[in-house]
Each structure stands twice: as C-alpha cells, then as structure tokens.
C-alpha cells in the first residue's frame, strides 16, 4: 500500500516537534503544519499534486533548502538541486552544533548515487531539518499503519 503525502507529513512534523525545543522561532528554519504557512513567495516553489511542505532553512532567496513529502530542494549560490528521497540514504549532518557558524550542510545520497547537500541552521534549530530528512527517509521502510501509529504516539507525548 502506498503511503500518502499526508501520513508522511504527519510523522515528520511529529518527529520534529518531539526533538526540537520550544519556542520554534528560529532565524532561518521553520516547519509547516500546512502549505499555507510557507510565506517565501520569491523562491517560486511549485508543488506537485498532494505534495506537502515539511520544513525549510531559508538563508535568503539564493540559499535555501526545502523538504517536502516528495523531494528535497536545495539552492546553493543560485544552483538549484532537486532530489526525490525514494531509496536515498543519509550521508551526515555536518557540524550542526557549531557556535561559530550560522549554518552547515547536511547531505543525502540519492538513488542515482549523487550527493545532495542541504542547509542546516546550527544549534537548536538543526533538529528541524535533521529530523525532517531522517524521518522521511526512514518512512520508506515503514508500513502505513506503523507511520500512523508512531505519529499518534509522538503527538500524544507532545501534548503533555
């Protein structure tokens, strides 16, 4: 059974909330409960059918990374790279605990063998992109029922 974009979105948002400190008002990084919360019109993001935005790190309009339920989009110095996360693997998260840098680069290896770098805001905000990407990749090995159960459990723990 195919996993819906909504179920992937739900588990990623639950994972992000579970691992990120409140308040969620970071300088470059945000997560999105709905696509309507994404306010960066200058980026020109065109979503595919049913695609939902999970999180983003936007340094400015030429340097950003956006994770959706179907793709990771990264624009580094006006060079845009888009990768589908199907059969991709985590490559690491850089020095995300750095106190001297505002951001670092994480990386995934796409099914094609190409490495795709993405922006991670350092410090507490790093958990948003790291857990968004990590969770979305891990959902590939989960059943729809596993995803729904895990999201429900994490959301209950978050409410407390």
| Beta-carbon contacts of residue 70 (< 8 Å; ≥ 6 apart) | 5, 48, 51, 84, 85
| Residue 58: strand, helix, or coil | strand
Residue at 137 is within a domain = yes
27-73 pLDDT, tens digit per residue, is: 999 999 999 999 887 788 889 999 999 999 999 888 999 999 999 99
Residue at 50 is within a domain = yes
- H helix and E strand count, the chain: 3, 8
pLDDT at 4 over 80: yes
Average confidence (pLDDT) over 93-106: 89
Give the domain range for residue 20.
Answer: 5-155
Q: What are phi and psi of 57, to 5 degrees?
A: -125, 110
Split into its structural domains, the chain has a count of 1
Residue at 160 is within a domain = no
What token pair was written down for 105? 């680069």
Task: For the chain, give the longest Cα–Cα distance.
Answer: 46
Residue at 100 is within a domain = yes
Average confidence (pLDDT) over 73-96: 90
* Cβ-based neighbour number of residue 105 at 10 Å: 18
Residue at 9 is within a domain = yes
CATH number at residue 115: 2.30.29
Average confidence (pLDDT) over 94-108: 90
Average confidence (pLDDT) over 118-128: 95
């Amino acid at each position: 059974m195919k996993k819906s974009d909504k179920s992937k979105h739900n588990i990623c948002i639950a994972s992000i909330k579970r691992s990120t400190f409140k308040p969620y008002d970071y300088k470059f990084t945000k997560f999105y409960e709905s696509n309507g919360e994404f306010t960066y019109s200058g980026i020109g993001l065109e979503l595919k059918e049913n695609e939902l935005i999970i999180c983003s790190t936007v340094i400015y309009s030429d340097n950003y990374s956006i994770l959706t339920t179907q793709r990771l989009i990264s624009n580094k110095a006006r060079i845009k790279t888009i990768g589908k996360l199907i059969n991709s693997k985590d490559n690491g998260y850089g020095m995300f605990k750095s106190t001297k840098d505002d951001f670092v680069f994480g990386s995934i290896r796409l099914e094609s063998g190409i490495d795709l770098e993405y922006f991670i805001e350092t410090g507490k905000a790093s958990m948003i992109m790291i857990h968004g990407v990590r969770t979305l990749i891990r959902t590939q090995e989960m059943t729809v029922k596993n995803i729904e159960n895990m999201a429900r459990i994490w959301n209950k723990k978050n409410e407390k």
